[in-house]
Structure 1
Amino acid sequence: MLFIDFYLIITILLPLTIHSVDQNDDHYQDVYFEVVEPSDINYTFRCRPSKQLSTDFNQFYENIYLIPAKPLRGCSRLQNDFELNRNIALIERGDCSFVTKIEFAQQSGALGVMIMDNDSTAHAYFVQMIDDMTKRKVLIPAMFLQYKDGHMILNSIEKNHVMGARINIPLNLTYHQMLKVPRAPGSNWL
């Protein structure tokens, strides 16, 4: 019992951005962001940065927009580059490599990319975004977002007839804060 109490005290007091105390665990690297608007999805979401492809966020972005790419799969020049400039692109997985998607977002001036899964049956895992070996340089952060979360955000943007979701990213949450933030219904944070 003493061991468990000591573990709980240490876990609650240490400022962590993880789900476990094992720093080799993939959860240690997760990035959290909150949607400020639209208000119907005012939740905190979790995404996973690419281990191979991207850079880290070098600053906190407050009230930046997460904007769906046009075309959504992002496998060709993006048609809404004016809106994506200095914002984050929301792109759906599929049809081309992750590097291709990120490169088109970079060319549009996006500060980062969230690639949402296209597999509605994949509820509990993140895809590892891998390099396509074309030696193209990724200069912006790229994160993977689970299907349910990504499509919840996309559907809200469309339903509310707005350009994108206004977000704050990355959040620096302590373990204790992670227990209190409003998570999207059905989000898998285990």
Structure 2
Amino acid sequence: MVRGATGWWCLVFWLPVYVAAHGLRIHDYLYFQVLSPGDIRYIFTATPAKDFGGIFHTRYEQIHLVPAEPPEACEELSNGFFIQDQIALVERGGCSFLSKTRVVQEHGGRAVIISDNAVDNDSFYVEMIQDSTQRTADIPALFLLGRDGYMIRRSLEQHGLPWAIISIPVNVTSIPTFELLQPPWTFW
């Protein structure tokens, strides 16, 4: 009986200390749902940048997810006007994650979703970190699997659409498991 009480006391005492020091890792994913086009109407998983960017203070029921041009968003965007007050879909590569986030922020984007440039990546999340330049970014920056980013872009191209309509963030804990519309190519 004493051993159980000691274990319980250690859990109650040390868990808050551990969480304060390391952060609670259970909320490392953020979810969004594509509402249109309908062929990719799934709930996608993304991971927030580790040490830069902001957080979502608002839930956007319907906001445009606009693929950046050029896709890597390392320089001036030719479609920057369409990214203003929307969310940009950017591809990994060419410059740092922070640089991409700042380019989107400078164009008035509310957030950036950076998809892996490895289009066959359907399971490995990259941890986006600061680039050691002292620069900052205020908008949320999320990492998306390469396969997911590719499928979203492909669908937009097939339908001739300039953007998708998404809802972000989505609270998946309030959705029954059988109603979670997961991409069939991604393992959860």
- The TM-score normalised by the length of structure 2 is 0.83
Gaps of 5+ in 2: 1-22
Q: Take 1:75 and 1:167, find their aligned partners in 2: how far apart are those partners?
A: 24
- 1:104 paired with 2:109, answer no
- When structure 1 is superposed on structure 2, of 167-176 and 124-133 the one drifting more is 167-176
Q: Which residue matches 1:33? A: 32
Displacement after TM superposition at 1:121 (Å):
4.1
The whole-number CA distance in structure 2 between the counterparts of 1:144 and 1:177 is 25
Moved more, 119-128 or 81-90: 119-128
Partner of 1:127: 126
- Partner residue of 2:137? 138
Check 1:32–1:105 CA distance in 2 against 1; reply closer, same or farther (3 A cut).
same
Separation (CA, whole Å) in 2 of partners of 1:91 and 1:83 = 14
Identity %: 38
Secondary structure at the counterpart of residue 82 of structure 2? helix
Q: Which residue of 2 aligns with 1:50?
A: 49
For 2:85, the equivalent position in structure 1 comes to: 86
In structure 2, the partner of 1:67 is 66
State the number of aligned residues.
166
Q: CA-atom RMSD, angstroms?
A: 1.5
Q: Distance in 2 between matches of 1:128 and 1:118?
A: 14
Moved over 6 A (4+): none
- Please report how far the alpha carbon of residue 177 of structure 1 lies from its aligned counterpart in structure 2 after TM superposition: 2.9
In structure 2, relative to structure 1, the CA distance for the partners of 1:69 and 1:178 (3 Å cut) is farther
More helix, by proportion = 2
Q: Distance in 2 between matches of 1:157 and 1:120?
A: 16
Shift of 1:135: 1.2
**SS of equivalent residue, structure 1 residue 106:** helix
Partner Cα separation in structure 2 for residue 186 and residue 68 of structure 1: 21
How far 1:84 moved relative to its partner?
0.3
Equivalent residue, structure 2, for 1:9 = none
SS at match of 2:155: helix
Which has the greater radius of gyration? 2
Moved more, 113-122 or 41-50: 113-122
Give 2:38's aligned amino acid. Answer: S
3-state DSSP of counterpart to 2:150: helix
Q: Provide the residue aligned with 2:3 in structure 1.
A: none
Aligned to 1:114: 113
CA-CA distance at 1:53 after TM superposition: 1.2
Letter in 2 for 1:58: H
State the match for 2:169 in structure 1: 170
Shift of 1:24: 4.0
In 1, Cα distance between equivalents of 2:61 and 2:94: 32
- Shift in Å at residue 175 of structure 1? 6.6
Q: Does 1:157 align with 2:156?
A: yes
Aligned AA (2:37): P
